[in-house]
Amino acid sequence: TYYAAVSRDPGRVPPAFLPDVEGAETPVHEVKRKGGDLRYCQKCGHYKPPRAHHCRVCKRCVLKMDHHCIWINNCVGHENYKIFLVFVLYAVIASFYSMILIVGSVIHSAPKDEQLSSDSSRTLIIICGIILCPLTLALSVLLGWHIHLILQNKTTIEYHEGVRAMWLAEKGGDLYHHPYDLGVYENLISVLGRSIFCWLCPVSVNTGNGLRFRASYDILPSTPPCDLQKIALHSH
């Protein structure tokens, strides 16, 4: 799973991509906060699809970019987000399993007539446990964080942008709603896939090509256009 997360490309923006402004299949167009123009990457020389961002480390735009992970030396994006999530899940399970083994070894490997070699082994086990504790805690928090994001169909970048958008909306007397939040079940299958049997497999089964995404407006067609403008996502 780790190898798959490292080697899988997170998703490239096609050089010939052009946003279909008049297309009915794309009700959401992300624009710049200043000026309201469609997002254009000056470094890559092309328009940015919705939820795509430029990675300074990879030096290119990544589809549905979440973040750049130094531990896998790769961006986490549309094509490998699910693989990254499964990797973190298995890392958490392995960490808890290792903690159980370490605690059991410490408790049951202390006979009254233990020798010097046994003392050295027990000390080494305790040191491993001390190192493993913060690692297990950090991985557990990371897993919980991304589960929280998936349930709202957000990326890490969109979460931080949403905090500012919510503050601006409240300041103007409006109500902010994340445009890609389709409900818990739809949010889950948009990342994990429709087959529950493949949820724990390190394969990418994303819906769509990463250039267009379903929005909550697709589910609520009766929402007036003026309300859509109020809750549209504005990003850099």
Tens-place pLDDT, residues 97-155: 999 998 888 787 655 555 555 667 778 888 888 999 999 999 999 999 999 999 999 99
Residue 28 pLDDT? 58
Task: Give residue 30's domain range.
Answer: 1-218
Average pLDDT over residues 12-36: 66
Residue 230 maps to a domain: no
Q: Is 69 a catalytic residue?
A: yes
Residue 231 maps to a domain: no
**Active site residue: 41, 69, 198, 201, which one?**
69
Residue 233 maps to a domain: no
Q: What is the dihedral of CA 203, 208, 211, 215, to 10 degrees?
A: -120
Please give the residue that has the higher pLDDT: either 176 or 3: 3
Confidence (pTM) = 0.81
Here the tokens at position 114 are: 């233990």
Residue 209 pLDDT? 83
Residue 226 maps to a domain: no
Q: What is the count of structural domains for the chain? A: 1
Examine the pLDDT at 182 and tell me if it is beyond 50. yes
Residue 85 maps to a domain: yes
Residue 225 maps to a domain: no
